Structures are given as C-alpha cells and as structure tokens.
Amino acid sequence: MKKITLLILIFSSLTIFSQSVETITEKISNKICECIKNDLKTYSEIKPEFNRCYDKEFNFIFNIVNSEEHKILIKKGNLNKVKDGIIPYLDNNCKKIRNLIQSELDETVDSVAKTVENPCPTNFKGKDLRKIKKRNGEIIAFNALVSEVYYDEKGKPYYKAKLEGGNSIWVASLIKSGYEIKDNIIRVLGYVSKVEKDKFAKKYNKTDFHILAFCVIDMKTKQTAMLPGSELQIKEWMNGKIPKAEK
C-alpha cells in the first residue's frame, strides 16, 4: 500500500511539474505576443519583431513568474524547455501570427491554383485501408467526411473520417483548424502512424493506426490550415506532388 501511495504521489508531482513548465511557457509567450506590433503585413516581418520582443520579455522572465514558478525555472533543463516551447505556442495561439500565416497561405493557394493543373492531389481511398500497415510512416492525402469529433486536453481534434469508396480512419490533428466539424468534407495531408501508447486515441480508436494530420483543407471554402514548420512540404503538395516522409 505504501508503494502504491508513493507512486501516486510521484506521478501527481510529475504531472503538476509538467503543467507548471507549460504554464510558464504560456505566460511568457503571451507577453511576447502582446509585444508584437499589430500592423505587420507579411510573415517575413515576424522574425525581427519576434527577436525584439523575445529580448525585451524573456530577459526579464524571472520578474514575470511567481515564486513557485521561479523554483521550477532554476531546475536543470527547465529554462530551455520554456525557450523551446515559445515559438510552437505562438504559432498556434498568437492571433497576430496565425492571421499572417493564414493570409500568406491563402495567397499561395490562390496563385498555385491558377498555375498548377492538379494542386494538392490525393493518394489514398477507402480500399487502401487494408494495406495501411505497409504504409506506416508514409505521408498520405485523402478526402474525408468527418463523422465523429473529440478533443484532447489541449483542444486538438481527434476525429473519425469516412473515406472515399467506404471505410473510415481516425485522424489525430496536429493543428486546430476549425474545419473538423461533423458532416464537413475536408482534404487531409498527414503521416500514417501507429496508435501505440496514445491513451486518448485508444479511448475511441479500436484499430492499430491513425493519421497525424499536419494540413487540412475545408473543401467548401477552400481555406487551408497547416502546422507551422511544414511549409516546404505543403508547397510541394500544392505543386501537385505528395511529399515524401523524411527517414
């Protein structure tokens, strides 16, 4: 009984500890987001503006956090964890940056659509599901009708997608696009991946595989949402070629 109690206490402390690092990352990231100017016109303007605000806010991080968070920050490796989490957090949560990314992406989609015969092609349908094991780790693209949607603790959707020709596959979205709505038709680009130890996924998905989606197109509006950092892969897809997964 003592061992079980000790394990519970250790697990609880680790969970709180992890959440505290995330809370600190969110706190400093929000300060940087507030600092960034509202009148930026292009995505290329973000980097120098981010550097300015990063220097202004991060150098005084110990003035921003409370006493408990201060203790966490001075522990080995935690300051670097916060640093590494800032850009991903801003890309997903800072509205100023998200709007610029979306605007540039929409412009790229429009220009590519006028010059490329078959932008954003697909290479996967319902009949291909029986060979999904052989495609583990590959990037696939497909059209799907969203039939069920759930959300993890970070608000990212996990949904069941009905494929062309029948059969369904589960999709773990790496982005919060807002297009994952029941009965909506979308086009998805993502990695084939084993569900393995993902407890949230296993709660709904009784198969061995799902798709880690890093780009989603709303087929009604033609609006596109992508994971920041995947720009080169998305550009290749828009130019008519399914990108290859890095090995």
Rounded to an integer, what distance in angstroms lies between the CA atom of residue 245 and that of residue 236? Answer: 12
Rounded to an integer, what distance in angstroms lies between the CA atom of residue 238 and that of residue 158? Answer: 25
Report the largest interatomic distance among the alpha carbons of the chain, rounded to a whole angstrom: 68
Is residue 158 within 8 A of residue 151, CB to CB? The reply is: yes
Nearest partner of 31 among 123, 93, 104, 76, judged by Cα: 93
What is the mean pLDDT of the segment spanning 37-58? Answer: 85
What is the mean pLDDT of the segment spanning 57-77? Answer: 84
The first and second tokens of residue 136, run together, are 């583990």
The first and second tokens of residue 1, run together, are 């009984």
Whether the pLDDT of residue 125 is over 90: the answer is yes
Whether the pLDDT of residue 221 is over 70: the answer is yes
In the chain, where does the domain assigned CATH 2.40.50.140 lie?
A: 126-238
Tens-digit pLDDT profile for residues 70-111: 888 888 788 888 888 888 788 778 888 877 776 766 665 555
- State the Cα angle at 13 between 11 and 15, rounded to 5°: 70
Rounded to an integer, what distance in angstroms lies between the CA atom of residue 112 and that of residue 3? Answer: 61
Whether the pLDDT of residue 135 is over 90: the answer is yes
Is residue 81 within 8 A of residue 87, CB to CB? The reply is: no
The first and second tokens of residue 9, run together, are 């206490």
| Average pLDDT of every residue of the chain | 82
Q: Domain 126-238 sits in which CATH superfamily?
A: Nucleic acid-binding proteins (2.40.50.140)
**Percent of all residues in the chain with a pLDDT value above 70, rounded to a whole number:** 85
Residue 169: per-residue pLDDT: 96
Nearest partner of 186 among 235, 226, 239, judged by Cα: 226
Rounded to an integer, what distance in angstroms lies between the CA atom of residue 151 and that of residue 145? Answer: 17
Is residue 121 within 8 A of residue 240, CB to CB? The reply is: yes
Residue 109: per-residue pLDDT: 55
To which H or E segment does residue 147 belong?
strand 139-151
Nearest partner of 174 among 163, 196, 189, judged by Cα: 189
Q: Out of 98-112, 131-145, 222-236, which region has the weakest mean confidence (pLDDT)?
A: 98-112
Whether the pLDDT of residue 246 is over 80: the answer is no
Residue 111: per-residue pLDDT: 55
Rounded to an integer, what distance in angstroms lies between the CA atom of residue 92 and that of residue 153? Answer: 15
Residue 98: per-residue pLDDT: 77
Rounded to an integer, what distance in angstroms lies between the CA atom of residue 36 and that of residue 97? Answer: 9
Whether the pLDDT of residue 6 is over 90: the answer is no
Q: Out of 11-20, 45-54, 101-110, 117-126, which region has the weakest mean confidence (pLDDT)?
A: 11-20
